[in-house]
Chains A and B, each alone.
Chain A
């Protein structure tokens, strides 16, 4: 009984340390088998095995061998759950970072008149936010005109043409 409890408490202390000392013990077993043996999984398995065994012995009054089996099953379940949660979070299903190529095809308006062979300024919508870009055009474009973005040659400039 004391062994089981000790094992559970050890796991809990490990987890608490991992949480408190954020990242110090975190990566001890990380990356092994693609996250299967990460610290939370291992600590969860150990602690759950201990507590599961203790419960089996204390509540059901089974022998130590059986209690160990029950604890191991519970621990494995916990470990699997922990692993699944980590995987779910690692899937990265959040908003995509905008890229320069996303600009091509969008429309915007000229805020500073584009001279022939020089830079003007256009205001474009990029990922739902207004961004001002330097813009070139084959023909001079007056201020306020609507333009299409034809290309994005650099991170801060675009090539536009007026909307016909």
Chain B
């Protein structure tokens, strides 16, 4: 291989390598990354407001989505990832505005801001620890979320997105913007409360919905049931109509069948009836014939006989009437004759009887007189006897009265003591007499509510009755007598006291 060829090839290789080396120093940033090229000196700049001269940070280049030539050793190129980072945020027991404790789970989408100043700020903080962005931000956002929840009520967190977003923006301004981070989105994924606060929030609505559902269900069921019953009713009506029609048809067919069945027997019966009619006619004719035969053979002769007998009886009756008439006339004549004879006989008798009565009367008169005389004599004798007897009685009474008077006088002289003694002597006898009926009792069963106490009362009643009986029969009122005695004693005592 000639040196010339080697040289030519070498030149070509050299040019290619030179181009590669130079171009390889030119770096192009992707759309989601930023290059921070450091090492250059910043330019001198004058602040137009204050006139202060300072070095700007143009030496620290920030390149997003563009190319940059990095001079080796003099400059250094760093890459910062701008893509979003998904950060789960969870807060437990955050106290809300009204004191309800809530547990929240959210998610935040965080990225390094797309502007130059954001990238510079983020590069200072996170360039060498880009994996730490998630950790740092998570902690910061947990605190931020707790603060946000503390400024809002549970209902607002759930319902008012705008307010929540505003609060999040405020928190992000305070905590993230200075680090060059942008909070792209921050959403609550889940919120639960301690106790049943959230469930209780939904309960009225749930109850209302349940009520509506129940009502709708019940109404639907009612409508369905009504429709079903209506359909059943119609079916029943149709069935009834069908059954009636069927029965009608059956009746018709049965009638026709019966008619058809009966046609034979009917015809038979009709024929029989015809036969019977004919037979009847024959029988009638026969009966008529028999009648006529009987007429001629029996009745006519019987009639003739009856007529003959009647005629005969009539003749006999007439004969007997005639005979009786004759006898009656004969009897009358005989009776007249007899009466006449009796009259004549009675006259004689009457005369005889009057004579006899006269005699008897005279005889009776005589007898009466004799009797009267006898009776008078008897009466006289009786009168005399009575008078004697009366005289005797009067004498006796006088004597007794005398004795009584004397006795009474004696009593008056004796005083009450004697009377009382007498009474005392007599009373046991009275009581004994009164209790005699009880003494005669062998066995006694008392049927009374009063019980045995009734018995002495019966005895006392008997005594009282006995005294009254005595009073009514003898006229001596024993009770009065006793009372009189006691009164007299009282009067005497009074006299003694006053005297």
Contacts and interface: CB of A to CB of B under 8 A. Distances in A.
Contacts of A131: 114, 182
B7 A157 contact: no
Contacts of B166: 112, 114-115, 118-120
A contact residues, range = 35 or more
B212 interface: no
B161 A86 contact: no
A118 to B, nearest CB: 5
Contact of B10 (A8, A30, A129, A134): A8
B32 to A, nearest CB: 12
Interface in B1-16: 2-4, 6-8, 10-11, 13-15
Interface string B53-70: 000000001111111110
Nearest to A40: B21
A92 B172 contact: no
B10 A12 contact: yes
Given A58-B3, A82-B18, A156 B183 contact: yes
B66 A26 contact: no
Contacts of A19: 17, 20-21, 24
B157 interface: no
A118 B66 CA distance: 37
Contacts of B6: 5, 54
A148 interface: no
A1 B121 contact: no
B430 interface: no
Contact of A156 (B17, B167, B172): B172
A18 to B, nearest CB: 5
A10 to B, nearest CB: 10
B8 A55 contact: yes
Given A4-B7, A31-B74, A58 B2 contact: yes
B contact residues, range = 35 or more
A26 B72 contact: yes
A48 interface: yes
A52 B7 CA distance: 7
Contacts of B119: 97
Interface stretch (B93-101, B173-181, B238-246, B419-427): B173-181
Given A121-B165, A156-B183, A30 B117 contact: no
A59 B170 contact: no
Contacts of A55: 4, 7-8, 11
Contact of B173 (A4, A100, A134): A134
A126 B22 contact: no
Given A27-B72, A89-B25, A95-B65, 13 more contacts: A5-B3, A12-B10, A15-B14, A52-B11, A55-B11, A58-B2, A86-B22, A94-B68, A100-B116, A112-B162, A112-B165, A115-B166, A154-B178
15 contacts: A11-B14, A19-B20, A26-B73, A43-B21, A51-B10, A51-B11, A54-B3, A55-B4, A86-B22, A89-B23, A89-B67, A98-B116, A112-B162, A131-B114, A134-B172
- Report, nearest first, the 10 A-B pairs whose CB atoms are least far apart: A27-B73, A94-B66, A27-B72, A134-B169, A119-B169, A58-B4, A26-B72, A54-B7, A15-B17, A31-B74
Interface of B: 2-4, 6-8, 10-11, 13-15, 17-26, 34, 61-69, 71-74, 113-119, 121, 161-163, 165-167, 169-170, 172-173, 176-178, 180, 182-184
